[in-house]
Structures are given as C-alpha cells and as structure tokens.
C-alpha cells in the first residue's frame, strides 16, 4: 500500500549533499520511501492514503549520533562549583565528575535508569529525533555496563525511535582499579567486551582518549579487541588536549572521532582518508566554556564529513535539544545552517554506520522524516530551543 505525502518542500540530503526540492511529493510504501521528487513528476498511480503537509519543509528525521542518555542522578551541584571557578579536571581529581555519576548509576535499578533516560530521550524526540546513539560508560564493571546496555536496548524496543548502543567501558577508571589502568583495559578486553558482545548488547565500541582518561596505547588495545569481535569503533578524542587519538581512530577505520577541539591538520587528513566522521559537540564546548575551536578550515579543506550531536550527559552537556545544538554549532563553532543540518542527518547516519538506510530522503531508504512548519530549512538552526510545530514520520508511520 502506497501513501502519498504532498504539499511540501524537501531538504533531501540526497547523495550526502544539501539539496532542495520545491513543491515536492513523497511516496512511502511500508517502512520505506518508494519515490521522492517534484510533485509535477509524481508517477500516476493509486495512492489510497494522501497526506496534505500544508506547505511544510520536510527533512530526514534528525539523528543524534553521540549521547550518554542513560545515567543515575545528575551533576547540577558540580555546575554550581564550576561557576565558582573550580575546573572540570579539579572536580574529577577530587572524586567528582564521571566517578560521581558512576556511583549513582551503580546504585540505580534497571527500571530507575530506564524511567529517567526515557524522559530525556522523549525530550530529544520532541525535537524531531528519530535515531539516537546511546553509550554505556557509567557502570565500569561487567554487571553495571550490562545493566546500562540492557536499558539502552529497552529504550529502542519501547519508544518509537531507533537506538544504537555503544559500549564505552573505557570511559574512566573505576575505583576498584585505581592506579591500575592497564589492568582495567585488560579486563575490558578479556572479560567485558567479549561477554557483552556475545549477549548482542553492543553495536559499536568507544573509548575516552585523554590525559585524564586513557592513553592512545590503552585505547588501541580496546580497538584491537573490537576488531576481533567485528565491532566498529568510535573515539572521544582531542577534547581537552592533543594526543592524536583521532589519527589512531582513523587507522582503525573508526566510524567517527568526536569532540576534536585540539586536533591537528594531520589528524584531519588521516580522518579524511579513512572516511571517519568528525562529530562536533557544541553543547560540551559551550558548557565547559572552552575557547579552543575545532579546526573547521582543516576539516573542510580535507573533506572530512562533519556531524553535530548533543553529547547529552550529566557532566559536560546536559543538552535536551538537538536543534539547540545546531544553533550552537553555527554560533559557537562557525558551521553554516546547511552544514549543521547535514551534521544531524546524513553525516550523523554515517557516524553510526547507517548511511545506506538512514539520513537522507531517497527512494529505498527508511521513511523517517519530519515535516516542519517553518519558513526555510535554516530556521532549524535559528530558533533557540523551544518546540517547533511539526509532524514526525518514522518507518512510514506518523508518530505523535
């Protein structure tokens, strides 16, 4: 059964580039887009259901390709401390930071974690998000990483949103392994990842490569294990210092390297060669009041694909709106609204290894799209948060 959606314009992102169809028509069949083009060229046929989109702009469903949506507690108290001048690194060194969220996450039940994460995820979805990536990384032992990953799977099963799970066991050193980072990496590689992968809980593997987290050599051991388990890798790299984690990620054909404020031009070249997407996280940049910008010119010059994500997490980016991140990507990081939109659609899909099926409006792709009541596509990066009037279609079916 075919369904026709018409009286709209479309920003398609077809073939990975920003492109527009004025007075478009979209035909969906089941979960997929069957045809899209100018309404004047609509194939004649039988369309039992016709939707009038009343002049809306249709974009692919937004994709948030880097979040830590599942966690216990929150860290607004640390936010207050930082406003008094205490740094993120100082808070972490005093046992706060990620460690405090680890304590709260370990203490929470699966149901409690699900309930709080579902509230945050619904907030992202109210912004037109139809696909989201969620990382573990606040459990830091087998039982608690498993608990987080099970919650992530359950969010995808119970809410109308596609969820990819990433194992971020190498996020921080758990207290049981204090001063024994190499032993913890060994535990991740020999026990945690093999078990969690065998249970089908992991779509990709991530790590935090930073002077206050794990070294490139330690990250590489995690990547070797991921490769053996046939899981794609991603990396938090170059957020606070330059360790060339992004070049390491490129050597392992990582789907993405994320943050990147301190990356070099050589890192950008390596990422371009391997097709590794640069995921920019303006929420963390803003919230930590960073001043070092990611090297946008080098990324553009070498043709690195750029995505934009929320990094939704309790410590550095309590961001509940991906559209607000599009605005910040433009105002803080100097993206154009067109780059920002590509960053939350087709390039975000590539950062999740889903670009064959998601991220653009093209025949054959999954019918995930949003019909926005806006004047121009740039409006999506223009309004500062709030809720825009829209209709969201996921797998060919309208959701509220």
Task: Provide the binding-site residues for ligand DI6, judged by CB under 6 A.
Answer: 97-98, 101, 171, 208, 236, 239, 284, 311, 313-316
98 binds, among Fe ion, ligand DI6, none (CB under 5 to 8 A by kind): ligand DI6
Please identify, using beta-carbon distances, which residue of 78 and 127 lies nearer to ligand DI6: 78
Instruction: Give buried/exposed letters for 34-46 (b at 16+ CB in 10 A, else e).
Output: bbbbeeeebeeee
Check if the beta carbon of residue 24 is closer than 8 Å to that of residue 8. Answer: yes
Check if the beta carbon of residue 272 is closer than 8 Å to that of residue 304. Answer: yes
Does 311 interact with Fe ion (rule: CB under 5 A)? yes
Please identify, using beta-carbon distances, which residue of 116 and 313 lies nearer to ligand DI6: 313
Give the nearest distance from C-beta 101 to ligand DI6 in angstroms: 5
Please identify, using beta-carbon distances, which residue of 103 and 269 lies nearer to ligand DI6: 103
Give the nearest distance from C-beta 64 to Fe ion in angstroms: 12
Three-state secondary-structure class, residue 257: strand
262 binds, among Fe ion, ligand DI6, none (CB under 5 to 8 A by kind): none
Check if the beta carbon of residue 61 is closer than 8 Å to that of residue 130. Answer: yes
Query: Do the strands 234-237 and 204-209 form a parallel or antiparallel pair, or are they unpaired?
Result: parallel
Please identify, using beta-carbon distances, which residue of 237 and 393 lies nearer to ligand DI6: 237
Site for Fe ion in 91-150 (CB under 5 A): none
Please identify, using beta-carbon distances, which residue of 238 and 338 lies nearer to Fe ion: 238
314 binds, among Fe ion, ligand DI6, none (CB under 5 to 8 A by kind): ligand DI6
Size of the site for Fe ion (CB under 5 A): 1
Give the nearest distance from C-beta 213 to ligand DI6 in angstroms: 7
Three-state secondary-structure class, residue 98: helix
Please identify, using beta-carbon distances, which residue of 36 and 222 lies nearer to ligand DI6: 222
Nearest Cα to Cα of residue 279 among 298, 256, 245: 256
Check if the beta carbon of residue 98 is closer than 8 Å to that of residue 138. Answer: yes
Please identify, using beta-carbon distances, which residue of 20 and 89 lies nearer to ligand DI6: 89
Does 238 interact with Fe ion (rule: CB under 5 A)? no
93 C-beta neighbours (distance < 10 Å), count:
12
From the list 30-38, 180-188, 212-220, 305-313, the region that binds Fe ion by CB under 5 A is 305-313
**Positions of E strands within 12-101:** 20-29, 32-38, 49-60, 62-64
Nearest Cα to Cα of residue 214 among 253, 182, 255, 246: 182
d(CA 311, CA 66): 5
Give the nearest distance from C-beta 61 to ligand DI6 in angstroms: 25
Q: Which residue is nearest to ligand DI6 (CB)?
A: 315
Binding site for Fe ion (CB under 5 A): 311
């Amino acid at each position: 059964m075919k369904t026709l959606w018409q009286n709209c314009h479309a920003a398609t992102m077809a073939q990975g580039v920003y492109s527009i169809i004025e007075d478009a028509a979209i035909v969906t069949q089941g979960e997929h887009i069957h045809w899209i083009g100018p309404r004047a060229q609509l194939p004649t046929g039988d369309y039992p259901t016709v939707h009038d989109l009343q002049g809306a702009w249709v974009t692919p469903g937004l994709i948030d390709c880097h979040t830590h949506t599942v966690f216990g507690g929150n860290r607004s108290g640390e936010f207050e401390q930082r406003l008094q001048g205490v740094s993120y690194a100082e808070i972490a060194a005093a046992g706060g930071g990620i460690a405090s969220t680890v304590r709260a996450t370990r203490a929470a039940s699966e149901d409690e974690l699900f309930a709080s994460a579902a509230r945050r995820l619904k907030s992202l979805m109210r912004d037109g998000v139809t696909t989201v990536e969620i990382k573990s990384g606040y459990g830091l032992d087998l039982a608690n990483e498993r608990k987080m990953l099970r919650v992530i799977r359950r969010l995808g099963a119970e809410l109308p949103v596609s969820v990819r799970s990433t194992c971020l066991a190498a996020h921080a050193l758990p207290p049981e392994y204090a001063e024994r980072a190499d032993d913890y990496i060994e535990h991740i590689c020999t026990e945690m990842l093999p078990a969690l992968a065998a249970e089908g809980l992991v779509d990709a593997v991530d790590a935090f490569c930073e002077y206050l987290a794990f070294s490139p050599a330690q990250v590489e051991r995690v990547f070797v294990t991921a490769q053996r388990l046939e899981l794609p890798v991603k990396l938090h790299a170059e957020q606070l210092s330059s360790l060339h984690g992004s070049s390491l990620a490129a050597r392992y054909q990582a789907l993405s390297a994320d943050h990147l404020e301190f990356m070099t031009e050589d890192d950008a070249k390596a990422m371009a060669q391997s097709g590794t997407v640069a995921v920019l996280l303006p929420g963390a940049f803003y919230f930590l009041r960073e001043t070092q910008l990611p090297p946008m010119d080098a990324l553009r010059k070498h043709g690195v694909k750029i995505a934009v994500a929320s990094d939704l997490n309790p410590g550095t980016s309590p961001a509940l709106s991906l559209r607000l991140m599009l605005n910040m990507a433009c105002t803080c990081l100097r993206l154009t609204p067109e780059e920002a939109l590509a960053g939350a659609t087709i390039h975000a899909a590539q950062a999740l290894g889903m670009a064959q099926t998601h991220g653009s409006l093209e025949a054959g792709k999954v019918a995930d799209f949003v019909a926005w009541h806006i004047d121009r596509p740039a409006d999506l990066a223009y309004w500062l948060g709030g809720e825009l009037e829209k209709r969201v279609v996921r797998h060919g079916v309208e959701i509220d």
